[in-house]
Amino acid sequence: MWTLAAEFQFSWLWVAEVLVGVALYAMLAASLNLVTGFGGMFSLGHHGFFAVGAYAAGWMASLAASVEPGSAAGWAVFAASAVFAVAASAAAGLLVGLPCLRLRGDYLAIATLAFGEIVRIVIQNTPALGGSLELNVPRLVMRPRGLAEVESFRELFLVVGVAALAVVLVVIRNIVRSAHGRAVVSVREDEIASELLGVPTTRYKVRAFVLGAAFAGLAGWYYAHYTGSIAPANFDMLVGIKILLIVVLGGLGSLTGTVLAAAVLVGLERLLQSGVFGEDLKRWMQVEYALILILVMLLRPHGLLGRFELGDLFRRRARGGRAA
């Protein structure tokens, strides 16, 4: 992202960038909420699907480097790269989900954790994706040069981001309120009872997991085109922790809470980054996420809006056993 001189710090330019970050993280957290909040599946590698989507979109855009930004062809590649990013991360979701979702227990948490790291290592060792350096993502819809153009670029992406977020939220909400969504939630509540009441639990878990991965891929597409350059370091564990933190704070199974928590967390982060609270806090920021997450887990709160406790997730997992 662009480094701005101090006088721009609380300008509309700055606010627009913060809001873009809120939309991005709300998208990521909402997609994880489908998996963890509604589906009860503990995934620690959501940033891996985010990375797959970002690199899929970035790679496709890099093939169209000669396309004039803003031309019809530019927009077409922009849209096509969204489809490609979503398809790629959905495929990755299937690859990870299919083998471990058949099993009960914590295989998924471990497998997703490994997946997040593997994605990063694979990218680092793939020259076509920039290796451990940056992958330049050519501009397709607008090339921001001067300050005024940067502003309209951000406004454009704010609109794109809000639209993409709205799509993600409406799709998840409508699915959750359908017969299929009830089946997914019933798996979270009691997998054995669910299966014995005619719900093919593995099929529903895989579906929810793949859908969550697909939406993380959409967020990756958005991020890649916004920043114009992506690197493996943008998709490390810390990003995964941040997404999980937003879900937990907002409440497992609460989409409204997710959006609010994303706004609070990203807003706070940018305020700290701006240095208004001093340089010390700025440096400690990375540690804070892990600390907050640990605290939240220890204290088992209800989140900002959720009724569902994180602790229930573990207790329910521990229960399993036989169908007595």
Partner 1 sequence: MSDALLEARALCKHFGGLRAVHGVDLCVDRGEIVALIGPNGAGKTTCFNCITGADVATAGDVRLGGTSVVGWPAWRVAQAGVGRTFQNIRLFKEMTVLDNVRTPAAFRAGYGLLAAVLRTRAYRASEARTEARARELLALVELEDAAGARARELPYGDQRRLEVARALMLEPRVLLLDEPAAGMNPSEKGELAELVRRIRDERGVAVLLIEHDMKFVMGLSERIYVLDHGEPIACGTPSEVRADPRVVEAYLGAPAEGAR
From residue 262, how far is each of 8, 19, 30, 237, 276 by CA, in Å? 23, 10, 10, 18, 20
DSSP string, 245-308: HHHHHH-TT-HHHHHHHHHHHHHHHHHHHHTTT-HHHHHHHHHHHHHHHHHHHHH----SS---
Contact status: 164 vs partner 1 (CB under 8 A): no
Contact status: 197 vs partner 1 (CB under 8 A): yes
Cβ 203 to partner 1, closest distance in Å?
9
**CA 241 to CA 39: how far, in whole Å?**
18
Footprint on residues 296-315 left by partner 1 (CB under 8 A)? 307-308, 312
Contact status: 170 vs partner 1 (CB under 8 A): yes
Contact status: 320 vs partner 1 (CB under 8 A): no
**CA 216 to CA 48: how far, in whole Å?**
9
Contact status: 6 vs partner 1 (CB under 8 A): no
Q: Which of 79, 121, 189, 285 binds partner 1 (CB under 8 A)?
A: 189
The contact mask relative to partner 1 for 278-297 (x = CB under 8 A, - = no) is --------------------
Cβ 189 to partner 1, closest distance in Å?
4
The residue among 53 and 253 lying less far from partner 1, judged by its C-beta, is: 253
Q: Which of 117, 151, 155, 195 binds partner 1 (CB under 8 A)?
A: 195
Contact status: 82 vs partner 1 (CB under 8 A): no
**CA 102 to CA 104: how far, in whole Å?**
7
Burial of 66 (C-beta count, 10 Å sphere; 0-12/13-18/19+): exposed
Cβ 105 to partner 1, closest distance in Å?
17
